[in-house]
Copies of this chain bind each other. A is one copy, B any other.
Amino acid sequence: MTTTTGSAQKIADEFVHAWTGRDVEKALSLLADDVVCEAPGGRIEGVDGYRGFLQPFVTMITSATVIDVLGDDTHAAAVYTTDTPLVPDFRGIDHFTVENGKITHIICVFDRLPMHLARNA
């Protein structure tokens, strides 16, 4: 969908296709060791921290679609939607900072309310 071809865009594209394809370790291989992720629930640090955030979610996914990946050489954004048993058509957008070929910073945005309501139902 996008015509930009910066290196951050390419890495973000690999990253989001990896985890939406359930290849968590491939996705994690694109992160810097000291990656910082600002997630809705708070700050996540390091590859192991991110694994603990991503792996349980990926386990729940029944289908996932990458809607778009935009970016340039240093920053990118990936738009996706996932289906899980609790919440269908769950959209999120991640914003990435890439340095030296690795993702160093992620702003991860999604709506926690549907999951909160489903779990309390």
Contacts and interface: CB of A to CB of B under 8 A. Distances in A.
Interface stretch (A14-22, A24-32, A46-54, A107-115): A107-115
- The quantity of this chain's copies bound in the complex is 2
Contact of A113 (B68, B93, B111): B111
Contacts of A67: 95, 107
Contacts of A13: none
A10 interface: no
Contacts of A109: 91-93, 109-111
Contacts of A76: 70
A40 B72 contact: no
Given A3-B6, A70-B71, A77-B93, 19 more contacts: A2-B71, A2-B72, A2-B75, A3-B74, A4-B4, A40-B113, A67-B95, A77-B77, A77-B95, A91-B107, A93-B93, A109-B109, A111-B111, A111-B112, A111-B113, A112-B112, A112-B113, A113-B116, A116-B116
